[in-house]
């Protein structure tokens, strides 16, 4: 685990609601050294899995997701909140650590057999990543890995992702 990255994660108690300790990665992104380190470490893990696409979860999965796609020479696909994508969509709803969420993909975003790497900032309960993996597979994609900056291991999110290769840079 990278201690330099961990030092740049800010804990925000009771956000967005009481009892949740929000892991804020904005200080990590704002520092050029840790931004580069996070992209490079994630890319090192992802590269041998040879993805065609990085599939990022709204919204913080877009930030490093596009940097990773650029660095690895992949395309980028966005999993978005309902009503944001203009074309035909497929959607999945799931429970969150706080509340519920629905995410959508463009129905033509993933071609049959595409190698897909799913990325988000935080692995909490795993519901978000599992739903995105499921959507990508419904469209014919092959999940070659699921990569996070932060993993809240006490929430056991990996249980939702047991059939996938999962990686995170910082574990709590």
- Piece of 17-25, 31-39, 81-89, 108-116 that binds ligand AMP (CB under 6 A): 17-25
Half-sphere exposure (Cβ direction) of 86: Cα atoms closer than 13 Å: 0
CB 77 within 8 A of CB 55: yes
Q: Is position 161 an interface residue for ligand AMP (rule: CB under 6 A)?
A: no
Selected catalytic residue, list 97, 115, 137, 158: 97
CB 122 within 8 A of CB 152: yes
Member of 5, 8, 9, 23 binding ligand AMP (CB under 6 A): 23
Residue 162, Cβ density class (10 Å: 0-12 exposed, 13-18 middle, ≥19 buried): exposed
**Closer CB to ligand AMP, residue 11 or residue 108?**
11
CB 86 within 8 A of CB 104: no
| 60 in active site | yes
Structure tokens that stand for 157 in this block: 């999110």
Member of 90, 110, 123, 166 binding ligand AMP (CB under 6 A): 123
| 80 in active site | no
**Closer CB to ligand AMP, residue 51 or residue 56?**
56
Give contact residues for ligand AMP (rule: CB under 6 A). 20-23, 57, 60, 96-97, 120-128, 152, 157
């Amino acid at each position: 685990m990278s201690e330099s990255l961990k030092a740049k994660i800010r804990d925000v108690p009771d956000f967005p609601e009481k009892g949740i300790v929000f892991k804020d990665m904005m200080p990590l992104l704002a520092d050029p050294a840790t931004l580069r380190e996070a992209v490079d470490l994630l890319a090192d893990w992802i590269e041998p899995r040879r993805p065609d696409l990085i599939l990022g979860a709204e919204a913080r999965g877009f930030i490093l997701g596009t940097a990773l796609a650029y660095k690895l020479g992949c395309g980028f696909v966005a999993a978005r909140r309902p009503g944001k994508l203009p074309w035909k969509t497929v959607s999945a709803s799931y429970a969150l650590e706080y509340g519920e969420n629905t995410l959508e993909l463009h129905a033509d975003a993933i071609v049959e057999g595409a190698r897909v790497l799913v990325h988000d900032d935080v692995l909490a309960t795993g519901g978000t990543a599992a739903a995105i993996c499921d959507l990508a597979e419904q469209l014919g994609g092959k999940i070659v890995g699921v990569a996070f900056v932060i993993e809240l291991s006490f929430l056991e999110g990996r249980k939702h992702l047991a059939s996938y290769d999962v990686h995170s840079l910082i574990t709590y």
